[in-house]
Amino acid sequence: MTLTDGNSAVEVNGIELEINTRGSGRPILFLHPEIGFDRAGPMLDLLAKKAKVISPTNPGFGKAKAPPNFNSTDDLAYLYLDLLEKLDLRDVAVVGTGLGGWVAAQMAIKSTARMSRLVLIDAFGVKNGDRVTRDVFDMYYVTEADLAKVVYFDQKFTERDLSKLPDEELYAMARARESTSLYGWKPYMHDPKLKGRLHRIHIPTLFLWGAEDKIVAPDYGRAYAAAVPNAKFELIDRAGHFPHVEQPDETARRALTFIEGN
């Protein structure tokens, strides 16, 4: 099966996926963060200048419903491994940010047969501290507006009047928040077994991290990277939890340089 540029629907094991495809060349599977594809366009366009970027929407985000038995990032990981097989994609670079980075890591501990590079951007997924230490900011303790002030380093990204957004955008935001809790509520934003399995990742891996991330701090990212054999860790200045939004040019440049092996 071959994907053409634009939006399409692909059925994988009875689950319909919304997929956006752009560009040509080496395949990049881009896994979106907990806010879905909100503001990801510039980053995707930059990646698409040198690669074929395949961006599925997680079931439960966008318009597609999540199946009744879909409730973990493990489910998403197997779904996207099956997607790579269905599309017969090989030598795939997987780029995941936030929740998408967690899913990408879950994919890589299972099988990297069709994957060649892994880029994790401010990813969730592991527990570094003890049982009473909070590793991840409680995103459900604050309102959407207050959360934005924590998420972004540049406060211009918080200056969006939610009351003036179209209903479609508000609906997408609400679904994203709800579905993030579905996949990551208990235990909160991590899989207790993931860290102990990261040694199974034997493809080149890059961790990119917003230097001002207050959701999962850079030290969280460093510890995450230390558990993956020979992984690299790099900071992106003047960025919070979503460097692909605040610094799309630099984030795309770093990712592509790594993917191309330079």
Q: What is the pLDDT of residues 25-64, one digit of tens each?
A: 999 999 999 999 999 999 999 999 999 999 999 999 988 7
Look over the chain and give the mean of its residue pLDDT values, rounded to a whole number: 94
Task: Judge if pTM exceeds 0.75.
Answer: yes
Is residue 206 domain-resident? Answer: yes
Is residue 31 domain-resident? Answer: yes
Six token digits for residue 245: 């939004």
Q: Give the confidence band of 137 by pLDDT, cuts at 50, 70, 90.
A: very high
**pLDDT at residue number 130:** 85
Is residue 1 domain-resident? Answer: no
Q: What is the pLDDT of residues 5-31, one digit of tens each?
A: 899 999 999 999 999 999 999 999 999
High-pLDDT (> 70) share of the chain, %: 100
Is residue 231 domain-resident? Answer: yes
The CATH number that applies at residue 38 is 3.40.50.1820
Count of structural domains, the chain:
1
- Owning domain of residue 239: 6-259
**pLDDT at residue number 262:** 56
Q: What is the pLDDT of residues 155-187, one digit of tens each?
A: 999 987 777 888 888 888 889 989 999 999 999
Is residue 105 domain-resident? Answer: yes
